[in-house]
């Protein structure tokens, strides 16, 4: 018996409150932002960027203060969300060209829900394989897809084409450098159309905005990679243009989410739809944007591409009227790889064996839940970095062979005081976990910088 099989058996043997919600078959809506930081929303302390609809979502539901993305960049983070595997076991462990896709042997949350009778759709950025990989939304459990397949293509907010299922969808109004069709607006429109449609089956809608990711190619030309049709809401602020546009992007997404919430109420689906909102990683320093301008990382250290808290701790909201208590702030530790088992428990089906995640439905329902098993991340981009969260301990190794840094997140959320020399037994335990929490990957070999 290997370690993962042992952990599966011991986790299953734990006494966890049984929550029977299968008969209701709730709709599931997961909204994912791109590079939105822990401190970019009003409900997480932001004072300058206006996010009234997301703040309302938090006020009506649960706001997690210790939620973690699957990685510190987009593709592996989304892979963890879809598969229930962390980056020590998932196929996609980094952003890479040519792209690596999800293997057909890996069950996605969309495929699981589709088998349970759900209608499944993704509108926005996929980023987990293009046509050549065979790993496209329609082959990985989604009935409907409209958006970007490739993460580099997703940099462009005014693309000349998108994908509709497995066919190219041409946006002729953006041809010849015209800028008339803003892609996030199209995703919102598709989502609203999807929600307006009468259906017999429950749905899983995965709405994946690219906001506020930078258009790095545009930034090289103009110095400003923050693309938005209208930044007039911040026109009288004495901020640099790039920061006005950054704020306007987030507020525009917030307004679109408000339209989604209103449509759910109009269609009578509000009370039987559980909504999740999160970001795929921490704040970027791209496209001319300064992540310190709006204090986006809050009290955390690090940004996108770091395994410090600022790179991986993200905003995470959950709302389900009548089920999730309103206005609750939860300090339960959760990670993206917990979403699949949570969705499985929500609809009353069995999770695949060998997952790294565990359902956090007890927390959502206001019940006690065991502490999370140690969380693991590895990062492949010019180097091989690792991180472990074990209780309140956080260990970070920046390169193979380098010493492990150790922080106590309970007393040092900003990871300023490396106390590795004071806790050799904890460091040894984390070192052991860094070795045992992963398998080797052909696509993502270990490299030192």
Where is average pLDDT lowest: 141-145, 270-274, 350-354, 380-384? 380-384
pLDDT in tens, 253-270: 999 999 999 999 999 999
Are residues 207 and 260 in contact, defined by beta-carbon separation less than 8 angstroms?
yes
* The pLDDT value given to residue 4: 41
Rounded (10°) angle between helices 74-83 and 339-347: 30
Are residues 213 and 34 in contact, defined by beta-carbon separation less than 8 angstroms?
yes
User: Which of 357, 278, 285, 275 shows the shortest CA–CA distance to 314?
Assistant: 278
Q: What is the Cα–Cα distance from 191 to 263, expressed in whole angstroms?
A: 10
Mean pLDDT throughout 351-364? 97
pLDDT in tens, 143-192: 999 999 999 999 999 999 999 999 999 999 999 999 999 999 999 999 99
pLDDT at 374 over 50: yes
Mean pLDDT throughout 413-422? 98
Where is average pLDDT lowest: 90-99, 369-378, 422-431? 90-99
For the chain, give every domain's residue range.
3-372, 376-436
Are residues 58 and 37 in contact, defined by beta-carbon separation less than 8 angstroms?
no
Q: What is the Cα–Cα distance from 361 to 89, expressed in whole angstroms?
A: 23
Tracing tokens 């106390």 back to the chain, one arrives at 419
Assign a CATH topology to domain 3-372.
Alkaline Phosphatase, subunit A (3.40.720)
Mean pLDDT throughout 130-138? 94
Residues in contact with 317: Cβ distance below 8 Å, sequence separation at least 6, in sequence order: 43, 54, 57, 58, 61, 62, 63, 64, 275, 276, 277, 278
Q: What is the mean pLDDT of the chain?
A: 94
pLDDT at 348 over 90: yes
* The pLDDT value given to residue 19: 53
Under the banding of pLDDT at 50, 70 and 90, the label for residue 23 is: low
Are residues 215 and 155 in contact, defined by beta-carbon separation less than 8 angstroms?
yes
* The pLDDT value given to residue 22: 46
Q: What is the Cα–Cα distance from 158 to 185, expressed in whole angstroms?
A: 10
* The pLDDT value given to residue 37: 98
CA-based end-to-end distance of the chain: 35
Mean pLDDT throughout 265-279? 97
Q: What is the Cα–Cα distance from 130 to 148, expressed in whole angstroms?
A: 9
Share of the chain above pLDDT 90, in %: 90
Under the banding of pLDDT at 50, 70 and 90, the label for residue 447 is: confident
At 433, is the secondary structure helix, strand, or coil? helix
pLDDT at 58 over 80: yes
pLDDT at 369 over 90: yes
pLDDT at 18 over 70: no
* The pLDDT value given to residue 99: 85
* The pLDDT value given to residue 200: 85
pLDDT at 3 over 60: no
Does domain 376-436 match CATH 3.30.1120.10? yes
In order of 232, 234, 245, 255, 369, the CA distances from 237 in angstroms are: 10, 5, 11, 20, 45
| Pairing of the two strands 316-319 and 67-68 | unpaired
Are residues 101 and 92 in contact, defined by beta-carbon separation less than 8 angstroms?
yes
């Amino acid at each position: 018996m290997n370690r993962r099989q042992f952990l599966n058996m011991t986790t299953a043997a734990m006494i966890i409150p049984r929550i029977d919600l299968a008969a209701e078959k709730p709709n599931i809506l997961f909204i994912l932002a791109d590079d939105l930081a822990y401190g970019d929303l009003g409900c997480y302390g932001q004072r300058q960027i206006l996010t009234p609809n997301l703040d309302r979502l938090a006020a009506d539901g649960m706001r997690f203060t210790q939620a973690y993305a699957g990685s510190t960049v987009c593709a592996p983070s989304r892979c963890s969300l879809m598969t229930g595997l962390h980056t020590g076991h998932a196929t996609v462990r980094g952003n890479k060209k040519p792209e690596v896709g999800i293997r057909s042997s890996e069950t996605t949350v969309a495929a699981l829900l589709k088998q349970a009778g759900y209608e499944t759709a993704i509108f926005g950025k996929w980023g987990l394989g293009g046509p050549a990989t065979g790993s496209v939304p329609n082959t990985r459990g989604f009935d409907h897809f409209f958006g970007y397949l490739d993460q580099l293509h997703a940099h462009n907010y005014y693309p000349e084409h998108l994908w509709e299922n497995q066919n190219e969808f041409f946006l002729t109004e953006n041809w010849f450098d015209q800028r008339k069709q803003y892609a996030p607006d199209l995703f919102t429109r598709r989502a609203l159309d999807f929600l307006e449609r009468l259906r017999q089956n429950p749905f899983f809608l995965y709405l994946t905005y690219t906001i506020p990711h930078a258009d790095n190619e545009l930034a090289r030309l103009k110095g400003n990679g923050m693309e938005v049709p209208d930044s007039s809401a911040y026109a009288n602020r004495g901020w640099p243009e790039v920061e006005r546009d950054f704020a306007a992007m987030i507020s525009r997404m917030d307004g679109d989410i408000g339209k989604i919430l209103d449509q759910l109420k109009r269609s009578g689906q509000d009370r039987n739809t559980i909504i999740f909102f999160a970001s795929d990683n921490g704040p970027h320093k791209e496209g001319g944007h300064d992540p310190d301008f709006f204090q986006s990382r809050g009290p955390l250290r690090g940004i996108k591409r770091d395994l410090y808290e600022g790179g991986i701790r993200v905003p995470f909201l959950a709302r389900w009227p009548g089920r999730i208590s309103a206005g609750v702030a939860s300090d339960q530790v959760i990670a993206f790889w917990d979403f699949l088992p949570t969705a499985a428990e929500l609809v009353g089906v069995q999770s695949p064996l060998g997952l790294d995640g565990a359902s956090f439905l007890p927390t959502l329902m206001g019940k006690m839940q065991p502490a999370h098993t140690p969380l693991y991340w590895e990062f492949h981009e010019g180097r091989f970095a690792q991180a472990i969260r074990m209780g309140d301990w956080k260990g970070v190794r920046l390169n193979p062979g380098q010493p492990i840094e150790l922080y106590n997140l309970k007393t040092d959320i900003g990871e300023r005081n490396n106390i590795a020399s004071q806790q050799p037994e904890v460091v040894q335990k984390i070192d052991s976990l860094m070795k045992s929490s992963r398998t080797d990957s052909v696509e993502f070999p270990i490299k030192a910088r």
